[in-house]
Amino acid sequence: MQPIQPDDMPTPPVPLSPGMRAGDFLFVSGQVPTNADGSVLIGDFTAEVNSALDNVEAVLRAGGASLAQLVKVNAFLSNAALFAAFNDVYVKRVGTPPPARTTVVVDFGHPDVRVEIEAVAFLG
């Protein structure tokens, strides 16, 4: 077990490690869009999805992996109307063939969050 905290990512304000490596797998905590200081980024939705994926990518990189090694993604959106726009951004970022994925609509702890992405990467 090895906790993963990217050097350039603010320490989370809640009790979680941004990533945790265990065996051949790297578990990435749910990542929301953030500004450089760690506060929630509120922008156009494309920028928000890219920021959440940037954070996933930063955790993967700090753990020695990349988006191409994702095997499972869980995406959470605040509204069903966001699915198409989410997929438009997502498909440009993940590997081909893409990871397994589940995407559902939930609410978040912060009222301005519209997307959160958690992931599992394979390091084997």
Q: Which residues of the shown chain bind its own copies in the complex (CB under 8 A)?
A: 1, 3, 5, 14-20, 22-25, 27-30, 69, 71-74, 76-77, 80, 83, 87, 90-91, 94, 97-111, 116, 118, 120, 122, 124
Which amino acid is located at 106 in the chain? V
Closer by beta carbon to its own copies, 30 or else 41? 30
The least CB distance from residue 82 to its own copies, in Å, is 9
By the 8 A CB rule, do 97 and 40 touch? no
Closer by beta carbon to its own copies, 25 or else 54? 25
Q: How far apart are the first and last CA of the chain?
A: 15
* CA neighbours closer than 13 Å in the CB half-sphere of residue 62: 21
DSSP letter string, 34-88: B-TTSSBP-S-HHHHHHHHHHHHHHHHHHTT--GGGEEEEEEEES-GGGHHHHHH
The least CB distance from residue 60 to its own copies, in Å, is 12
Which amino acid is located at 77 in the chain? L
Closer by beta carbon to its own copies, 30 or else 33? 30
The least CB distance from residue 47 to its own copies, in Å, is 19
Closer by beta carbon to its own copies, 8 or else 109? 109
The least CB distance from residue 9 to its own copies, in Å, is 13
